[in-house]
Amino acid sequence: MHAIVKDRPAPGLKVATVPKPSAGPGEVLIAVRHAGVCGTDLHIAEWDAWAQGRLKPPLVIGHEFAGEIVAVGEGVGELKAGQLVTAEGHIVCGHCLQCRTGNAHICRNTRIIGVDRDGAFAEYIVMPATNVLPLDGIPTAVGAVMDPMGNAFHAVLSAEIPGSTVFVVGCGPIGCFAVGIARAAGAAKVIASDVNPTRLALAAKMGAHRTLNAGRDDVVRAVLEETGGEGADVVCEMSGVPTALHQAFAAVRRGGRVQLLGIPTGEIPVDFASEIIFKGITVSGVIGRKMYETWHQMRRYLTAGLLDPRPVITHRFPLAKIDDALAAIRSGDAGKIILEIA
């Protein structure tokens, strides 16, 4: 089968022919139709310090996908060939303290497809049946972005949204999803900031009441103006950029909540007293998707038509054009990019 392979410990990716996998006990074989391309794949292609410390080539990359089940292994009862599905790409141990207390999204033994084992930029992928979710009528192009959209669902729905003012900092694909989710969940006002006008336009399309250009506008002052001087009830920090993180703390109201999802590249000095403690705010780190609460919530929002994430998908490429897909991410102007595999 055709696949995108990280073939050696150096920059670059290879379009290669590799053996088609088969489903062992408890596993399903899925023919991939659509796959999402993500910043993580860019880190792997560029072979940055994180990738060097984590990946052991050769490996098929890609961790966001949806497709059709073509075979089920021994002992798989719930799933059938012909079903359209997506899957949680974090394969967890089921034994650690986190797994056994309903927090498998922070399992200490997590193995990620396309990072720690073969991934989804291929014609076929094998997944443990426990990780697989039927799409129930959701198109596979949308199913392919449910992994990053799930991060946005996790970040937004961990806060109290109905009637709130929500400020989304950073309008990459996950930030744009977060805007739509906050609207669908009943936020009274959604404000979004970014430095890129294309991304701000996408955030507006997803329902942001007001967009702020962080390169030009006084973001904190604008949020205070929009909230009668109080600040936002909930801030979702999706950028990981130091100045944006400080804006997140400055723009949240006293007693409000900051959801941190964007990953800074290094240490950032924080004035704990003035930015967090004296304001009495709650700061929460968001990683992955709750297994499987987030997935069920997301599937219900999508099947009920509460949210249409498709405007965020701005580019589609065939599998072999992975380099063009990565170039589009690098340009900073793209929303979500997907590969059309079948």
40 catalytic per annotation: yes
* Backbone φ, ψ for residue 321 (5° rounding): -95, 35
Looking at beta carbons only, is 40 or 193 nearer to Zn ion?
40
Nearest distance from C-beta of residue 63 to Zn ion, angstroms: 6
Catalytic residue among 43, 130, 198, 209: 43
How far apart, in Å, are the Cα atoms of 314 and each of 70, 165, 202, 310, 311? Answer: 29, 27, 9, 8, 7
Number of residues that bind Zn ion (CB under 5 A): 8
Looking at beta carbons only, is 63 or 257 nearer to Zn ion?
63
Among 3, 4, 38, 298, binds Zn ion (CB under 5 A): 38
Nearest distance from C-beta of residue 162 to Zn ion, angstroms: 29
- Select the span of 33-41, 150-158, 189-197, 299-307 touching Zn ion (CB under 5 A): 33-41
Looking at beta carbons only, is 176 or 223 nearer to Zn ion?
176
Q: Report the relative pairing of strands 313-318 and 59-60 from DSSP bridges.
A: unpaired
Looking at beta carbons only, is 143 or 256 nearer to Zn ion?
143
CA atoms within 13 A on the CB side of 279: 24
Q: What amino acid is encoded at 81 in this protein?
A: A
Exposed (0-12), middle (13-18) or buried (19+): which is 16, by Cβ within 10 Å? middle
Q: Nearest to residue 255, comparing CAs of 278, 223, 281?
A: 281
Beta bridge partners of 31: 68, 124
43 catalytic per annotation: yes
Nearest distance from C-beta of residue 163 to Zn ion, angstroms: 31
Nearest distance from C-beta of residue 257 to Zn ion, angstroms: 24
Catalytic residue among 34, 40, 90, 154: 40
- Select the span of 37-45, 231-239, 312-320, 328-336 touching Zn ion (CB under 5 A): 37-45
Cα–Cα distance, 322 to 338 (Å, whole number)? 10
* Residue 16 is a binding residue for Zn ion (CB under 5 A): no
How far apart, in Å, are the Cα atoms of 221 and each of 86, 120, 205, 257, 333? Answer: 42, 44, 23, 18, 26
How far apart, in Å, are the Cα atoms of 15 and each of 7, 59, 68, 154? Answer: 9, 12, 22, 33
Residues 82-141 that bind Zn ion (CB under 5 A): 92-93, 96, 99, 107, 109
Q: Which residues bind Zn ion (CB under 5 A)?
A: 38, 40, 92-93, 96, 99, 107, 109
Please identify every residue annotated as catalytic.
Answer: 40, 43
